[in-house]
Amino acid sequence: MKKFSEWFHNILEEAELIDSRYPIKGMSVWLPRGFQIRKYALKALQELLDKDHEEVLFPMLIPESELAKEAIHVKGFEDEVYWVTKGGKRDLNEQLALRPTSETSMYPMFSLWVRSHMDLPIKVYQTVNTFRYETKHTRPLIRVREITTFNETHTVHATEEEAEEEVKTGIEIYKTFFDELGIPYSISKRPEWDKFPGSKYTMAFDMIMPDGKTLQIGTVHNLGTTFAKTFDIEFENDEGEHEYAHQTCYGLSDRVIAALISAHGDEKGLQLPPVVAPEQVVIVPIIFKENQDVVLNFTDNLEKLLKSNGIRVRQDKRDMRPGKKYYEWEKRGVPLRIEVGPRDIENKSIVLIRRDTGNKEFIDYDENTIADVVRDTLDNITEDMKVSANKFQEEKTYSVENLEQVKKTINKKGGIVTFNWCGDTDCGKDMEEKFDIDVLGTQEADVSGPCLNCGKEAHYKALISKTY
């Protein structure tokens, strides 16, 4: 997959996921197949969030006066906010922002909701569209002007400890979610100059894309009391004193789908983990005129049987060469194909072909066990896809010992390069400029000796890479 960028662009069209010909730059249409993948991914995420969070929905427009309240925050977004200035033919009294993210939409309401510690914690999330007036080169799902799928969780707590605990919860939820989708990640604490505007600190998930650049796929922010102070989110504690609440927020976007596609796709096309596949299994009956009824009778039964066991299955009876069907379903990424011909039925056997390994397995056919066999195979596919994608991320993560290696590795191999670092902003920015990379962030590690760049004492393991 040499030209990843071209491959990515083509697969969106060929696997019928996204139509990017919409007449506004950076905005695209979710086609039915793409929409379904998005839907199943969201479902998996929501099941995790629903255990301890409630779903809500806030308005899309934000008054300028609210957006402007938190100065550091607005500074981070002011260059990319779309503004509504007219209603009908009239100028509005106050211009309204299309939400770039929802802190300033939610927190004025939180201020009304929180009176005493009895009102805490608040743990809510929503899945909405958000907008960024991107001036850089746009790319579907990766750098867009309408983020059609922004899943954002916002929490409010009485104590700093609880907020810290929620950061951990958020990280655990995202880890589980990415693991289910077989999306590999490296977690680090973003450097000071790249944290979420207004936050105390930002934890981020990055995936190494096939071209060696990293894609930020999720972030978890501890907001401290900054927004609580700005939006007056305060409560009365047990002693009757007023305290500011501690907040967190964390989010995922369309990029999860980009990561999913990129982590698993190959020259043949898409590869979908079963959890998000619109069809987990496709049955292709091998039909000859003389045996048509026998075969279709068999495959119809098989289809019904799998369906009644909760497996998403589709039978492809179209009148065309089997080879052409295989090609199509492989391109669309269906994890498992079942072929059944007249000879197989005679032998009481069917053939399972895995999309991920290409493995062909002849299975003795038994109505009582076939659903379990298929389910086990799908589980194996899920596991193997995860292992394989994680392997790539690990192999592309290089620990280096000197500055020369940093430069060489980044330029020749791409991926993430890690080394001992002091953690100072000046030193970090110096590296970013010198090597034309980004400091993804730091990981706590047992580090000793000097910073690889400036020679001062090292405190962290730094992660750097070229980024999307």
Give 63 or 342: the residue with its C-beta nearer to its own copies. Answer: 63
Which residue in 194, 216, 258 sits closest to 432, CA to CA?
194
Output the six-digit token pair for 88. Answer: 């009908």
Contact pick of 69, 108, 274, 428 for its own copies (by CB under 8 A): 108
Phi/psi for 323 (5° steps) reads -55, -40
CB of 50 to its own copies, least distance (A): 10
- How many residues can be counted in the chain? 468
CB of 343 to its own copies, least distance (A): 34
Give 59 or 455: the residue with its C-beta nearer to its own copies. Answer: 59
Contact pick of 83, 193, 327, 362 for its own copies (by CB under 8 A): 83
Contact pick of 96, 249, 257, 464 for its own copies (by CB under 8 A): 96
Instruction: Name the one range near its own copies by CB under 8 A: 30-38, 182-190, 196-204, 238-246.
Output: 30-38
CA separation for the pair 17, 315 (Å, rounded): 21
CB of 386 to its own copies, least distance (A): 28
- Are 319 and 303 contacting, i.e. CB atoms less than 8 angstroms apart? no
Instruction: Report whether the peptide linkage leading into residue 140 is cis, meaning its omega lies within 30 degrees of zero.
Output: no
CB of 62 to its own copies, least distance (A): 8
Give 81 or 451: the residue with its C-beta nearer to its own copies. Answer: 81
Contact pick of 54, 161, 172, 430 for its own copies (by CB under 8 A): 54
Pairing of the two strands 281-285 and 313-315: parallel
Give 27 or 363: the residue with its C-beta nearer to its own copies. Answer: 27
Contact pick of 55, 383, 394, 401 for its own copies (by CB under 8 A): 55
CA separation for the pair 153, 277 (Å, rounded): 25
CB of 85 to its own copies, least distance (A): 5
Output the six-digit token pair for 213. Answer: 């650049």
Positive/negative CA dihedral, 167, 171, 176, 177: positive
Range 146-165, binding its own copies (CB under 8 A)? 146, 148
Distances from the Cα of 407 to the Cα of 29, 139, 411, 414, angstroms: 40, 27, 6, 10
Range 31-50, binding its own copies (CB under 8 A)? 31-32, 35-36, 38-39
Output the six-digit token pair for 401. Answer: 């010992």
**Helical pair 370-395 and 292-308, crossing angle rounded to 10 deg:** 70
Which residue in 305, 431, 301, 284 sits closest to 369, CA to CA?
305
CA separation for the pair 147, 162 (Å, rounded): 30
- Binding string, 8-27, against its own copies, x = CB under 8 A? -----------x-xxxx--x
# of chain residues touching its own copies (CB under 8 A): 50
Is residue 316 classed as helix, strand or coil in its secondary structure? coil
By the rule CB under 8 A, 103 interacts with its own copies? no
Give 28 or 315: the residue with its C-beta nearer to its own copies. Answer: 28
Contact pick of 7, 15, 28, 141 for its own copies (by CB under 8 A): 28
By the rule CB under 8 A, 59 interacts with its own copies? yes
CA separation for the pair 426, 433 (Å, rounded): 11
Range 110-149, binding its own copies (CB under 8 A)? 112, 124, 129, 133, 135, 146, 148
The beta strands (E) that lie in 209-266 are given as: 214-224, 234-236, 242-244, 246-252
Give 148 or 393: the residue with its C-beta nearer to its own copies. Answer: 148
Residue 319 CB contacts under 8 Å (≥ 6 apart), including other chains: none
Instruction: Name the one range near its own copies by CB under 8 A: 89-97, 206-214, 226-234, 344-352.
Output: 89-97
Contact pick of 80, 160, 364, 401 for its own copies (by CB under 8 A): 80
Is residue 142 classed as helix, strand or coil in its secondary structure? coil
Contact pick of 40, 66, 223, 265 for its own copies (by CB under 8 A): 66
Give 62 or 416: the residue with its C-beta nearer to its own copies. Answer: 62
Instruction: Name the one range near its own copies by CB under 8 A: 79-87, 183-191, 314-322, 355-363.
Output: 79-87
In b/e form, how buried is each residue of 367-385, taking b as 16+ CB within 10 angstroms? eeebbebbbebbebbbeeb
CB of 453 to its own copies, least distance (A): 34
- Are 185 and 217 contacting, i.e. CB atoms less than 8 angstroms apart? yes
Q: Given the rule CB under 8 A, which residues bind its own copies? A: 19, 21-24, 27-32, 35-36, 38-39, 54-61, 63, 65-66, 78-89, 95-96, 98, 108-109, 112, 124, 129, 133, 135, 146, 148
